[in-house]
Structure 1
Amino acid sequence: MYKQYIRNLTVQNEKAEMASSGKLKVLLILGSIRDGRQGLRVAKFMRRKLVERNFDVKFFDPVEMNFPMVTKPVHFFGPERTNAPKILVENEKFVKEADAYVLVSAEYNHNVPPALTNLLDAFPGSAYAYKPSGLVCYSMGPFGGMRAAMALRAITGELGCLSVSNIFGIPTVQHAFDEEGNPKNDHMESGAKKMLDQLEWMAHAMKNHRDKVGLPS
């Protein structure tokens, strides 16, 4: 009885601590710029799912941002960002402020779209570090972009925003959503939920720890 009471009390304290940490900021990043891209439908769906969970969502779409091919990352301009392009300086702030990241990635030639790595590599690893990420990968075939997801595991690990274990993979994406991102089958809801449950837990836990003890020197 006493042990069960202590366990219940611990769970209640953890929930209260998570709730007190405030609204989490998440950066949703779309990684495709191709004509006719299916990823925009996926991103619309994911944005709604994040808003439903009370995340403060910032959306990076390289097409809408007119994001350039980066020949010099923002941190290469020195700590004062002297002469750095405005688009890099302004958006670095959103990368730093985010508590979590959701990457929406197609799979091109069994790998990550170059537009996604170009955007991610434009900012320093320190901007992403000690925060979680969630992977949403898709393909027009039966494997749901899993080979791109495996490449993103390594990339997010190096950036310091390790991806949660569950990957939301979307096979035959052309049949999964309408143009507004409304799902056409139950897997979309259940698949997103599994990944976001993990991401939300990790984002709260890591934010609480950052706030309590800071970052390693």
Structure 2
Amino acid sequence: MYKAYLQSVRMASTKAIPEPLKVLMFLGSTREGRLGIRVAKYMQKYLEDEWKYKVTLFDPLEMKFPMLEKPVHFYGPQRTGAPKWLCDCEKIVRESDAYVVISAEYNHSIPPALANLIDHFPGSAFSYKPSAIVCYSPGIYGGMRAAIQLRAMLGEVGCLSVSNIFGIPKVHESINENGEAINEHIPKGAKTLITQLDWHARAMKNHRETAGIP
């Protein structure tokens, strides 16, 4: 038994460092005085520093996404006539290994800017990869009502969310303007969520590469 244990330790110590995952973060809020940018700053730094992920942020306040009239897949398989910026964004979506969706709660529901962002791309761009939901609000519910609705939406586009939801109530008292955690709930909640996401993302990445996509 002891010899077997030593052999497993040696194998683990010689195992190659896993390739960094590519993670796309969606920020869903555009409201004046939005607090979501604090959450995005915190999560991006956490993912890059603690998990060594390659992170891209899609922020509807900073990007060109108009109210949806023609999603990228409506331009046909060759994307004939599609704007270059939209094709570039689709490439990022398709090449990502996982998604982190940061959502506020507008009228107890998904912010329209977030749904609009996601709807610019076909389900095939998201399929067979996992997602993680980070929700927040200045109140006590932490955006959970929007998060539950997001589960259905993300499942329909093919990137099922992991079971944990990282909810942040009273977000203005939890993360400061620089994206720094100011209570112990934040790093603990982020770790629980991303530990799940990492496992699912690596398992699904491995299966896509070995078995392909149906």
TM-score (norm 1): 0.91
Match of 1:65 in 2: 63
Match of 1:34 in 2: 31
The secondary structure found in structure 1 opposite 2:163 is coil
Which residues of structure 2 form unaligned runs of 5+?
none
Out of 30, 53, 56, the position equivalent to 1:55 is: 53
Q: CA deviation at 1:85?
A: 2.4
Query: Pairwise CA RMSD of aligned residues?
Result: 1.9
CA distance in 1, matches of 2:176, 2:139: 17
Q: CA deviation at 1:9?
A: 4.4
Match of 2:97 in 1: 99
CA distance in 2, matches of 1:90, 1:143: 36
Match of 2:183 in 1: 185
The one-letter amino acid of 1:142's match is: I
The secondary structure found in structure 1 opposite 2:30 is coil
Structure 2 residue 58 is matched with structure 1 residue 25: no
The one-letter amino acid of 1:32's match is: S
TM-score (norm 2): 0.92
Structure 2 residue 173 is matched with structure 1 residue 175: yes
How many percent of aligned residue pairs carry the same amino acid? 57
Match of 2:84 in 1: 86
Q: CA deviation at 1:129?
A: 0.4
CA distance in 1, matches of 2:207, 2:176: 40
CA distance in 1, matches of 2:46, 2:196: 14
Please give the residue correspondences for 1:137-176 in structure 2 after superposition, counting only pairs within 5 Å: 137-176=135-174
CA distance in 2, matches of 1:61, 1:9: 44
Out of 196, 208, 215, the position equivalent to 2:206 is: 208
The one-letter amino acid of 1:107's match is: E
Out of 123, 126, 145, the position equivalent to 1:125 is: 123
The one-letter amino acid of 1:67's match is: F
Q: CA deviation at 1:83?
A: 1.4
CA distance in 2, matches of 1:66, 1:32: 14
Q: Does the 8 Å contact 1:67/1:87 carry over to 2?
A: no
The one-letter amino acid of 1:174's match is: H
The one-letter amino acid of 1:140's match is: P
> 1:3-48 CA deviation, whole Å, 9 max, x = no partner?
x948x849x67x947x44x111000110111111000000000001
The secondary structure found in structure 2 opposite 1:40 is helix
Which residues of structure 1 form unaligned runs of 5+?
none
CA distance in 1, matches of 2:95, 2:31: 28
The secondary structure found in structure 2 opposite 1:166 is strand
CA distance in 2, matches of 1:88, 1:189: 34
Which range moved further: 80-89 or 33-42?
80-89
